[in-house]
């Protein structure tokens, strides 16, 4: 019961020892509107293949945990009516009840670690929300980064979050937050936030070596790679900050809480920017998929 279902493509890569990249699916079920979600999911898988690795989109369909989806399953996921948003707390209940849904960063890390996939690409991780001192809203993604040994490639914590508090908590949890190729912490739609990243690495080889060094030390938990959104697709941090503050305040006043907060804010910011945040989101997740593939390949060649 409850074994993982591998796609043919991902199983072939596993058996051949080819580099695999896990991809999450809450971005498909809750992070983007249809049909952009499906087009993006296909494009992201294509980026991984184009960069010499094999994609494994992770999701739950009818109570089965899938490691890799075929074309029909990906399309079904993108069009699911009322999908669940599955994090660490929900995963087992979904499997036991035959439910379907997208896996968050936290749940995808759990699945990737079980499937022995070392590298995972997403858009932006969850973190400490603005107003957390009142709402106590802190994403389970942070705790998972401290537990599951997976290198997660994102474009930084989502800009809708309280970035200094998110960095503080990641430091407490012992999670390495590594900016790729720059000193500033990227902030999802924005290539740079006003905050310095705690660590910086400049190549896929260096990231792979750090992943292996962590394992050799016997440390649980992963690394968070923050890859700035490609120049030209990003939105300057100062342009977005007031829109984010306003949307976060409205969300709190409207009583939107828990799992609904992030999808709601992503939709609000899309509307407030005439779709620019969606364009940036698509570009950044594609770019993260390319970097994740390069890291997965480097893991096979750098000395451990």
Q: Which residues are catalytic?
A: 24, 158
The correct pick among 21, 27, 78, 299 for binding ligand PSU (CB under 6 A) is 27
The correct pick among 26, 223, 251, 277 for binding ligand PSU (CB under 6 A) is 26
Tokens representing 199 are: 């660590």
Which is nearer to ligand PSU, 264 or 297 (by Cβ)? Answer: 264
**287 touches ligand PSU by CB under 6 A:** no
**24 touches ligand PSU by CB under 6 A:** yes
Give least dist CB 84 to ligand PSU, A: 12
For residues 38 and 157, give the distance between their C-alpha atoms in angstroms, rounded to a whole number: 23
Pairing type for strands 101-103 and 54-61 reads: antiparallel
Which is nearer to ligand PSU, 118 or 229 (by Cβ)? Answer: 229
Q: Is there a contact between 179 and 197 (Cβ–Cβ < 8 Å)?
A: yes
Q: Which of residues 247-286 bind ligand PSU (CB under 6 A)?
A: 259, 262, 281, 285
C-alpha distances in angstroms, 255 versus 50, 84, 135?
Answer: 43, 20, 10
C-alpha distances in angstroms, 55 versus 30, 34, 64, 65, 228?
Answer: 20, 21, 18, 16, 21
The correct pick among 105, 113, 121, 204 for binding ligand PSU (CB under 6 A) is 105
DSSP summary character for residue 274 = T
Tokens representing 82 are: 């009322």
Counting residues that bind ligand PSU (by CB under 6 A) gives 17
Q: Where on the chain is the footprint of ligand PSU (CB under 6 A)?
A: 24, 26-27, 30-31, 104-105, 122-124, 126, 139, 141, 259, 262, 281, 285
């Amino acid at each position: 019961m409850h074994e993982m279902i591998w796609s043919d493509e991902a199983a072939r890569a596993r058996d051949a020892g080819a580099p695999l990249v896990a991809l999450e699916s809450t971005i498909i079920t809750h992070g983007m509107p249809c049909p952009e979600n499906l087009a993006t999911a296909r494009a992201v898988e294509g980026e991984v293949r184009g960069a010499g690795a094999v994609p494994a989109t992770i999701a739950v369909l009818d109570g089965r945990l899938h490691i890799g989806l075929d074309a029909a399953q990906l399309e079904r996921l993108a069009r699911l009516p009322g999908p669940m948003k599955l994090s660490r707390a929900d995963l087992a209940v979904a499997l036991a009840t035959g439910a379907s849904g997208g896996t968050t960063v936290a749940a995808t890390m759990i699945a990737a670690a079980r499937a022995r996939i070392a590298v995972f690409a997403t858009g932006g991780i969850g973190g400490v929300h603005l107003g957390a001192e009142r709402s106590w809203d802190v994403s389970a993604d942070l705790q998972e980064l401290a537990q599951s040994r997976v290198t997660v490639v994102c474009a930084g914590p989502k800009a809708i979050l309280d970035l200094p508090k998110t960095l503080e908590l990641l430091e407490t949890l012992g999670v390495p937050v590594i900016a790729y190729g720059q000193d500033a912490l990227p902030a999802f739609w924005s290539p740079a936030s006003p905050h310095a990243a705690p660590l910086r690495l400049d190549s896929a080889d260096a990231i792979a070596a750090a992943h292996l060094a962590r394992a050799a030390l016997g440390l649980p938990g992963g690394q968070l790679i923050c890859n700035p959104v490609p120049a030209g697709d990003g939105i300057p941090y100062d342009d977005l900050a007031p829109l984010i503050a306003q949307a976060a305040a409205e969300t709190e006043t409207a009583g939107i809480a828990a799992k609904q907060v992030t999808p709601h804010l992503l939709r609000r910011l899309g509307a407030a920017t005439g779709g620019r945040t969606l364009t940036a989101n698509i570009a950044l997740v594609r770019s993260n998929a390319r970097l994740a593939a390069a890291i997965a390949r480097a893991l096979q060649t750098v000395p451990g």
